[in-house]
């Protein structure tokens, strides 16, 4: 392993040059541009330049009714769409004091955790591909297809879902869906052992990740980093445990966290989280009650005047939706506090003095979704 070179950021040098990483580079996983100042192969400054795919999701919330804004939420982080819609409907339900039927809450948990596994599989496959390994992403998408088949059967969609509604969900799940969930859990657990043997224990991967991209818990707090990035720095914070929402307090699961604070730790957190999501799905399918899937919702939605917030644990960290109402049938303001922007923000400081190939590995360990930044 090559030790990081001492940063010369801010020191004039005739040897430095500017290198654009992106906005079309595949390692940025979208149209993110990172302006690199290089001293040979070492980074002296890495300046993220977002904005290339900005779609004004928050501004669009001001000219749509509360219900019309629902499809927007799943297009912010398209890999973790369920939890984003969950946060939005949760904020509106909190404002209106709507009671969500217990069966609908169970369905939300099951579909959200399936979506979380799906997201982590894409992140795992793409991360390893950034490091030069093509085969794992084929296995990842093979397993992800099983999840998409399950979610398509109940939601009608395979990527950007609009399945949750204020007061419940749009359609009930049947026995075939629940049996399919059980079959997927049974299938996926041995696959995790296979993934460990194929990739996680591979010495090449470990040499590329161990000791690379060191991020301390204090740095995470300064930048507001969350999710697997924070838990990879030994902070066991998860909204499902620390700010329980929905019915997550009824399930037994752990919060994976590692003390190393390197790229390998963040990798391990995500792999362990797949197992924890399988545990939650297993319990939820076994305990799902009978009953209605929609509560009593006013025909015309007009929230009381005020600000209302709701937080969920998305695949990449803490998502907070804040809605402001002036009593009309459209929001006065919609604010999305998404995890990827904060997780990207620490990249500039943490990458100083790093070799360019190590910076690519470090960025992959952050598991960024660029539309989540350019929202």
The string of pLDDT tens digits covering residues 347-360 is 999 999 999 999 99
Q: Which one, of 364, 310, 363, lies nearest residue 337 by Cα?
A: 310
Give the model's pLDDT for residue 7. 47
The lowest-confidence range among 8-22, 239-253, 259-273, 336-350 is: 8-22
Give the model's pLDDT for residue 18. 93
Give the model's pLDDT for residue 69. 95
The string of pLDDT tens digits covering residues 47-71 is 999 988 888 999 999 999 999 999 9
Residue 24 in this model has a pLDDT that exceeds 90? no
Give the model's pLDDT for residue 13. 54
Name the residue ranges covered by the structural domains of the chain: 59-349+357-364
Name the CATH code of domain 59-349+357-364 (choices 1.10.3720.10, 1.10.645.10, 3.30.420.10, 3.30.1280.10): 1.10.645.10
Residue 30 in this model has a pLDDT that exceeds 70? yes
What would the two tokens of residue 353 be? 């003095």
pTM value? 0.93
Q: Omega into 77 within 30° of 0, i.e. cis? A: no
Per-residue pLDDT, averaged over 264-268, amounts to 97
Check if the beta carbon of residue 77 is closer than 8 Å to that of residue 369: yes
What would the two tokens of residue 121 be? 């599989």
Q: Which one, of 268, 149, 113, lies nearest residue 199 by Cα?
A: 268
Give the model's pLDDT for residue 14. 65
């Amino acid at each position: 392993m090559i030790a990081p070179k001492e940063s010369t950021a801010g020191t004039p040098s005739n040897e430095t040059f500017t290198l654009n990483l992106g906005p079309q580079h595949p390692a940025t996983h979208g149209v993110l541009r990172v302006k690199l100042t290089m001293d040979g192969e070492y980074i002296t400054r890495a300046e993220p330049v977002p904005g290339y795919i900005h779609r004004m999701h928050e501004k669009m919330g001001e000219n749509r009714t509360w219900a019309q804004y629902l499809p927007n939420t799943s297009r912010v982080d398209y890999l973790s769409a369920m939890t984003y819609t969950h946060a939005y409907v949760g904020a509106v339900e909190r404002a209106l004091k709507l009671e969500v039927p217990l069966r609908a809450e169970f369905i939300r948990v099951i579909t959200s955790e399936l979506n979380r596994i799906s997201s982590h599989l894409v992140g795992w496959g793409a991360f390893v591909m950034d490091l030069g390994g093509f085969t794992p992403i084929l296995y990842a998408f093979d397993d992800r297809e099983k999840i998409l088949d399950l979610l398509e059967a109940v939601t009608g969609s395979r990527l950007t879902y609009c399945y949750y509604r204020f007061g419940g969900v749009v359609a009930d799940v049947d026995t075939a869906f629940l049996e399919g969930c059980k079959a997927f859990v049974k299938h996926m657990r041995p696959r995790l052992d296979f993934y460990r043997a194929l990739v996680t224990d591979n010495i090449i991967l470990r040499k590329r990740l161990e000791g690379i991209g060191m991020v301390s818990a204090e740095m995470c707090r300064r930048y507001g980093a969350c999710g697997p990035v924070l838990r990879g720095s030994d902070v066991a914070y998860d909204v499902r445990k620390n700010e329980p929402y929905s019915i997550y307090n009824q399930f037994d699961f752990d919060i994976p966290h590692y003390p190393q604070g390197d790229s390998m730790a963040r990798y391990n957190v995500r792999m362990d989280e797949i197992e924890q999501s399988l545990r939650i799905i297993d319990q939820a399918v076994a305990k799902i009650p009978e009953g209605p899937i929609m509560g009593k919702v006013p025909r015309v939605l007009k929230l009381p005047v005020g600000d209302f917030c709701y937080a969920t644990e998305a695949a990449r960290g803490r998502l907070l939706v804040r809605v402001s109402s002036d009593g009309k049938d459209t929001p006065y303001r919609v604010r999305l506090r998404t995890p990827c922007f904060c997780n990207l923000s620490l990249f500039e400081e943490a990458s100083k003095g790093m070799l360019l190939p190590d910076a690519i590995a470090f960025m992959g360990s952050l598991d960024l979704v660029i539309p989540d930044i350019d929202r």
